[in-house]
Chains A and B, each alone.
Chain A
Amino acid sequence: IKTFCSTRMYFIVLRHFFVVKDIFYSIKMHFIVLRHICLCHCLFALILKHCPLSVFPEYIVAFTGYFSAKARSLYISSALRSASGGALEWHIVPRENPASDFPSDFELVHIRQASPSSLLTLEDHPYIKRVTPQRKVFRSLKYIPSAPCNATRGTQKWQSWQSSRPFRRTSLSLGSGFWHATGRHSSRRLLRAIPRHVAQILQADVLWQMGHTGSGVKVAVFDTGLSEKHPHFKNVKERTNWTNEKTLDDGLGHGTFVAGVIASMRECQGFAPDSELHIFRVFTNNQVSYTSWFLDAFNYAILKKIDVLNLSIGGPDFMDHPFVDKVWELTANRVIMVSAIGNDGPLYGTLNNPADQMDVIGVGGIDFEDNIARFSSRGMTTWELPGGYGRVKPDIVTYGSGVRGSGMKEGCRSLSGTSVASPVVAGAVTLLASTVLNRELVNPASMKQALIASARRLPGVNMFEQGHGKLDLIRAYQILNSYRPQASLSPSYIDLTECPYMWPYCSQPIYYGGMPTIVNVTILNGMGVTGRIVDKPIWQPYLPQNGDHIDVAVSYSPVLWPWAGYLAVSISVAKKAASWEGIAQGHVMVTVASPAENDSEVGGELTSTVKLPIKVKIVPTPPRSKRVLWDQYHNLRYPPGYFPRDNLRMKNDPLDWNGDHIHTNFRDMYQHLRSMGYFVEVLGAPITCFDASQYGTLLMVDSEEEYFPEEITKLRRDVDNGLSLIVFSDWYNTSVMRKVKFYDENTRQWWMPDTGGANVPALNDLISVWGMAFSDGLYEGDFTLADHDMYYASGCSIARFPEDGIVIAKNLKDQGLEVLKQETAVVEGVPILGLYQTPSDGGGRIALYGDSNCIDDSHRQKDCFWLLDALLQYTSYSMTPPSLSHSHSRVAPPTGAERPLPQRLEGNHLYRYSKVLEAHLGDPKPRPLPACPHLSWAKPQPVNETAPSNLWKHQKLLSVDLDKVALPNMRAYRPQVRPLSPGESGAWDIPGGIMPGRYNQEVGQTIPVFAFLGAMVVLSFFVVQLTKAKSKPKRRKPRIKRPTYLQQQQQQTTTTTGKNPTV
């Protein structure tokens, strides 16, 4: 259990990391290959501080009983007439809600210049209990720090979600209109208590009222199982077990909860109580699960023709090909797959598979205040690195924090995590699917299209956190029911100027000569499981809007299968705009075709044409010194190889799996460099593939890849010609690497790291020409450098440095000794930082630092962005920071004579994952240098068009104009979501009292059968009695019997305390 405690935010998060095991000492790693469940029961003990503020001058007048509106008005006017001689200016604030038709025990009164005496006279009235000022309650986590609560009169603490005492009171302002508030007032909520029944919050009751309850839709829950007689479920069609445990029951409560959110019919209501539940137990009580179990279970789901499948389970291994292929196969068989995006936030680059697949609906979590939940995984997908750019994920977000669902045996409980958000969407999808008359139209793509086109965007959150926004069930219903098969794009437009939604694109304008900006758009094809792009996408620049100032290249999936494909748009500035500044616009037009399956004509095709508007900001090319190039090509990560974490203290997160990109786990560093005015570009190709004369500094951080010999010679030439180099290395010690190897029971093989934190031997090959090298030392510790507190988290030292360089040394702990022998030793004067000016005329500068952890977002303890600034000042402007050059920690550069330089670990399998090495007899050898990527720019077809001012409002789906789609009659259902009056309880549990739909019918079907049966039994009983009576008429003579009866009665009346005679 890991506890984050953020006092500023006033909440405590308990995250149960199931897979967290001490890997370096007794290693048992479940989640390397196996999917680990996202089930993080992040139980939020949410302790909120409330800041009640008076809303002057409104008062709540409470009465002693319930009176009609007229009577209340009469009492108040009579009471106030006596006060101040009737001079008081007042009126009753109308409360327009369904409750206003009923008697109430309070009234809201607006009184101008109310004096305490007038309030007292008001309280004197016999029917008035008390008068209190009206208060507004603020209840948003992010709002609190800016408005200190102690300024107000009192603070209240509520422990909500886990509280044994549920608080059900809701503000009167709560109604269906509230749900359209997103985007307008995100920091203020008039909610005192939040209804926690997520189906109701998402207005599922509107669809229930229309008779849609998920009937006829098969939902599969892949989880920890479900107990047989759980009272919440009425339509569990089948339970199957795919694990090695001989049970079908849920021993964790996770599977029950998930199934409850989808289909519970009582207490904590699910979305689709009439859906057919298929429970697949694929996760054991010990939180173990294998890919092979999933494969067999998925095959069964395909055979059973499941419609919707919820998978609240995920893992980082998107290179588990059998699993990924199987998920494709599943969606290709029309199974709508909904999956949790992961609980590894707020770090970027933490998306989990299979939620990060194009054909799967990946769901992120938000809290009830519409903030992205801290735990929700985010950042782009990292499949496409290093050459491409990640796709936008999650697709959609919904409530995932403090959601109520079914408890393991009975009752309800609250849970948090994206594994809660996923069944919310899965339940909504099930409900939506049951509303569609022509089920042929419902497929994984059309459902996803409807969800993302209807989602409501959250303000101030970028698309790599919220995707398309918050699930809106009702709008999705409208869209889905006017849906026509078509293709659509996600994101549906590219506006590189729109902040913060289009972060990181909006954070840096483009310019001539820069690396092309790539936007990885996903094409969703609702027309068929397979499709293709007809001809080629057409680039149409808008001439009035300088569209000719940009060049666009498009690459795309040759086949859109299953249901989706990519459309990568590379944008670059045309040469004529090299010194131009402004906005350029245009659009890319794509036509998608799919075989028409319902067409009588053989070979018929459905086609759909979509426009992708593009808007970019162009600036003149910045000077060379301002431009920094980030080397992505030489960063390797898990999956597929075992690349260990850069900070060895972080035993619970053993893998380096966040992509090491400036927009994933080096996001803070990127933001910092941008704020310092640097322009950061990414090199996704070998070092031979960039024009070094354009860049001031090449930044190589935590590189695991090897180098082509051509790269080494090219870099040396570039540095001679003025390119500077900054290297942030990391640890590499073969003994430690052997120590952190482990036998993985699940894959039945040894896992040996293929590099250390970085690939130091390869880096040494690169920098040896300047007489530099890193050592295989492994150091750790706190120190102070230039008045900054620093932490060295598992880094190496500099083993060799040119004589005329500046080298800084510090006293650090020998972590290698600690890992290997559990001994602690402090090493004095470990050289960690080196600055060097190459001797050639106009030559570049080189800066080395032995640890990358202080600029990496994952597990960073103390940042050293100041150091990066200082190094960039040095490399870009040749300004040696005096704090470093005149530091008393400066030592003579090491010559590297005393220790041999680190060698590559023998028998490492880096060649399996490397783009540079290939297997050979003996040692792996470098491959031939690949050709540099070449973009073929689309031939522009200029149009004399002007883009709409707001691209966001651009139609997301053809033929569906949301403004025109009639809303279902909300009025009629308002009483269903009416707020509760105090004392009324349990009404949230069964909305509207009765669930419409098949439940009643089903009961109605079974009851008559048994009633008939019972009636028959009773009837036969009577028949027997009657025949008995008829056959023996003489034994029961009425004449005799009657007096006996009377006698008995008399006896009874007289002997009241006596026992009755038994007949």
Chain B
Amino acid sequence: MMVLRRLLRKRWVLGVVFGLSLIYFLTSTLKQEERTIRDRTLLEVRDSDHRIPWKVRFNLGNSSRQITQCRNSIQGKTLLTDELGEKRNRYSPPCCDDNTTAPRYWSMLMFRCFYCLTGYVCERKDLLVNGCCNVNAPSTRQYICKSCLANGCCSIYEYCVSCCLQPDKQPLLERFLNRAAEGFQNLFTAVEDHFELCLAKCRTSSQSVQHENTYRNPQAKYCYGESPPELLPV
């Protein structure tokens, strides 16, 4: 008893007690912060003025990125769209040098070559080991908007992605991200670049259905555009 009391009076003991409490305090607060960052709900963030912190970078405008590996639209039955980055000078057509392409990067990119997404559509058999389309295969096409309607809805997913990857679609997508995507924040805040955005945007979603169990337009249900598919009369 005595020893304990004496011990309690010692400063270093108090110090240890204080230190431990501090540790506990720090751990619990840090953990909570971590949790709140992780938890997202599409409703919590819905402030009218709140700008969504989009991670999307339309142009991977640096030469550090090598074309060793392509991502592609994994799911296709016969077709695939890749994100083959093509090495281009900014003055060489048709890829990334037109005025619609991310002018804010220009200063940085002035004297550099850079890669841009080309959105080749190819058959599965023409896929290279690195996941890119074999551009020399006869059926491989670039930026193909086949089957796509004027409203930005296509009947084949891969063509929708390819069409969406076209540089001139970028303002459309930016507009969409800033306005129309309110209901899709969960999805589009997690999107990181143009390719992912097109993959995600072209998928059928809650916008594609009416009466929950039917497509608004079963013929053209994959849309890169802002508006949902046009409703077909039953």
Taking beta carbons and an 8 Å cutoff, which residues of A are in contact with B? 33-34, 228, 236-242, 246-248, 290-293, 295-296, 299-300, 302-304, 317, 319-323, 325-326, 329, 332-334, 529-530, 559, 561-562, 595, 597-600, 602-603, 605, 746-749, 1006, 1010-1011, 1013-1015, 1017-1018, 1021-1022, 1025, 1052, 1060, 1063
Contacts and interface: CB of A to CB of B under 8 A. Distances in A.
B23 A1025 contact: no
Given A321-B218, A603-B125, A292 B74 contact: no
A329 B203 contact: yes
Interface in B8-45: 9, 11-12, 15-16, 18-20, 22-23, 26-27, 35, 38-44
B41 A333 contact: no
Contact of A239 (B26, B39, B206): B39
Interface in B114-173: 124-129, 131, 134, 137
Contacts of A605: 125
A282 to B, nearest CB: 12
B77 A559 contact: yes
Contact of A597 (B19, B78, B129): B129
A322 B129 contact: no
A1017 B12 CA distance: 11
A33 B212 CA distance: 7
B114 to A, nearest CB: 25
10 cross-chain pairs, A with B, having the tightest CB-CB distances, nearest first: A292-B206, A332-B75, A241-B41, A320-B213, A1021-B15, A747-B211, A291-B212, A1014-B23, A1017-B19, A561-B77
B186 A300 contact: yes
B205 A239 contact: no
A1021 B200 contact: no
Nearest to B136: A602
B106 interface: no
Contact-residue size bin, chain B (C-beta under 8 Å from the other chain): 35 or more
B103 interface: no
Contacts of A228: 35, 39
A295 B208 contact: yes
B211 A530 contact: no
29 contacts: A236-B38, A237-B38, A240-B39, A240-B41, A241-B43, A246-B44, A290-B212, A291-B212, A299-B200, A299-B203, A322-B215, A326-B204, A329-B75, A329-B204, A529-B74, A529-B75, A530-B78, A559-B77, A597-B131, A598-B129, A602-B125, A602-B127, A1013-B26, A1014-B20, A1014-B22, A1015-B19, A1017-B18, A1018-B16, A1063-B9
A1018 B127 CA distance: 61
A302 B218 CA distance: 22
Nearest to B207: A292
Contacts of A1060: 5
Contact of A300 (B12, B44, B124, B187): B187
B167 to A, nearest CB: 23
Contacts of B26: 1010, 1013
Contacts of A299: 187, 200, 203, 205
B56 interface: no
Contacts of B134: 602
B204 A325 contact: yes
B191 interface: yes
B91 interface: no
B196 interface: yes
Nearest to B36: A228
A1017 B22 contact: yes
A947 to B, nearest CB: 36
A236 B36 CA distance: 12
A602 B186 contact: no
Given A329-B75, A1010-B26, A1021-B12, A291 B35 contact: no
Contact of B200 (A303, A746, A1014): A303
B15 A1052 contact: no
A748 B203 CA distance: 24
A304 B190 contact: yes
Given A241-B42, A329-B203, A1017-B18, A291 B209 contact: yes
A599 B5 CA distance: 76
Given A747-B212, A1010-B26, A1013-B26, A332 B38 contact: no
Given A300-B187, A1021-B15, A1052 B2 contact: yes
